[in-house]
Structure 1
Amino acid sequence: MAVQISPSILSADFARLAEAAAMVPNADWLHVDVMDNHFVPNLTFGLPVVESLLKATSTPLDCHLMIDDPDRWAPAYAEAGVGSVTIHVEAARAPVRTLRQIRAAGARAGLALNPATAVEPYEDLLGEIDMLLLMTVEPGFGGQRFLDIVLPKIRRARALLDGRGGQVWLQVDGGVSDETIERCAAAGADVFVAGSAVYDAEDPARAIDRLRATAEKV
């Protein structure tokens, strides 16, 4: 599958989100980390901010819900018009129903797993999703160091997805940089969330081009 780069506005200036979106016209997605200070120890954006951002950019939004009770809240993000909504398996009580509601509302449905969560127990859910997100840091904060221990899980997930026809994207999120993206791509990831590596760069758009070119070497 083609390499896709999804820069995370968690690393952007929260007072200038529209400008942050405009800085990356070559992004495939704009990654929005929705955190509630319950599921993870941080508080970021909610649906009103997402709705405003939708009006400010034509880049599709990739909303990653790091929240308690995603079954209640996730469908509203899809109904608002975002391109992709990802829920955490650790937080969802009715993941099949919620994933189907996301799809029914017109968005791609994603399922996220924390670093310590094995992928194999959720193999039966792969037919309900469009993207599998493997966290490569503990969720909650940007700027963390990449966890190499997740690389074998990326390989196992790639094998599971390929065994089903390879229609599901495999996204990695956390510590993705010029130094780590090639390892992730070699393990089988094809969608890359990059926060600090993009928005801490002098030229965010050029940083995306560089990350894409590095991943495409694999």
Structure 2
Amino acid sequence: MSHAVTICPSILAGDFAALGAECRALGEAGADWIHVDVMDGHFVPNITFGPQMCAALRPHVTGVMDVHLMIAPVDPYIDAFAKAGADVITAHLEAGPHVHRTLQAIRGAGCKAGLAINPGTGIEAVGHLLDDIDLLCVMTVNPGFGGQSLIPAMVEKVRALKALTAGRPIRIQVDGGVTLRTARSVAAAGADLLVAGSAVLQGGPAAYARNIAALRDAALGVLV
């Protein structure tokens, strides 16, 4: 495997009473991206963060703020998250009837545009959207909760999307169930952005650098 792998720690697994400190500690530990899971209790069965939280976190994020909108509708909130400091905004294919318009709006707000697809969604519609996508996020669990196990069939979906996007500067992200045991299979299939919650944040700040390095080594096939 020739491409580099970026580990994207999810602050959903962090200490909610100290998320700014968590973001700083993750950056110091080598995290280039911070993944922010935004859930609305409607599109997915949980409620997490909003634009104000992202704005509060932005000064503590030294790299890319990767905002994953698990909300519906999406379009009314794009500008707010962009103004809050998001570098990447990812919306779900399933969140509304006009996803092309959503992707255009994200880019129009000055952010990289991500498209997420749920486990039960096929990739047929993705091919018509490739010119407007910077990132494809494959949900390898059903969205809404952290700590779930990766759905094995999603590895082949990653492989199919890697083939579909060949020759284009589109990054493929996997979100859900990424651990030392599963990182290699999704990376070998073509994912180069691995979202990880407990696999990175377990053990507290003193363990973050070790956890990130171990996960990256596992993705690259290095014995850990």
Separation of aligned partners in 2, 1:28 and 1:119 = 28
Specify the SS of the correspondent of 1:148.
coil
- RMSD of the alignment, in Å? 1.3
Residues 76/94 of structure 1: CA separation in 2 closer, same or farther (3 Å cut): farther
| Structure 1 residue ranges (4+ consecutive) displaced by more than 4 angstroms after TM superposition | none
Offset of residue 94 of structure 1: 2.0
Query: What SS does the corresponding residue of 2:26 show, helix, strand or coil?
Result: coil
Distance (Å, rounded) in 1 between the aligned partners of 2:187 and 2:203: 21
Amino acid at match of 2:151: L
Tell me if the contact between 1:21 and 1:57 (Cα under 8 Å) persists in the aligned partners.
yes
Structure 1 position 39 matched with structure 2 position 46: no
Q: Distance in 2 between matches of 1:201 and 1:126?
A: 39
Q: C-alpha separation between the residues in 1 aligned to 2:155 and 2:188?
A: 9
Provide the rounded CA distance (Å) in 2 between the counterparts of 1:101 and 1:169.
Answer: 19
Give deviations 1:150-203, integer Å, cap 9, x for gaps: 1111111110011xx131000000000100000001111110000010111350
Percent pairwise identity:
48
What CA deviation, in whole Å up to 9, does each residue of 1:14-58 have, x standing for no partner?
111011112212112100000000000000000100010012222
Deviation digits for residues 102-152 of structure 1 (CA, Å, limit 9, x no counterpart): 112221100000001011222111110100000000000000011101111
The question of whether the paired residues in 2 share the 8 Å contact of 1:71 and 1:93 is answered with no
**CA contact under 8 A between 1:109 and 1:131: conserved in structure 2?**
yes
What is the TM-score of this pair, normalised by structure 1?
0.95
The answer to whether the aligner puts 1:144 opposite 2:148 as a matched pair is yes
Aligned counterpart for 2:158 among listed residues 154, 157, 163: 154
Matched, 1:109 2:113: yes
Counting only pairs closer than 5 Å after superposition, residues 58-97 of structure 1 correspond to structure 2 as 58-97=62-101
Letter in 2 for 1:11: A
Deviations 1:66-92 (A, max 9, x none): 001012212321233211000001002
Q: TM-score, normalised by structure 2?
A: 0.92
Q: Is the contact made by 1:10 and 1:33 (CA closer than 8 Å) also made in structure 2?
A: yes
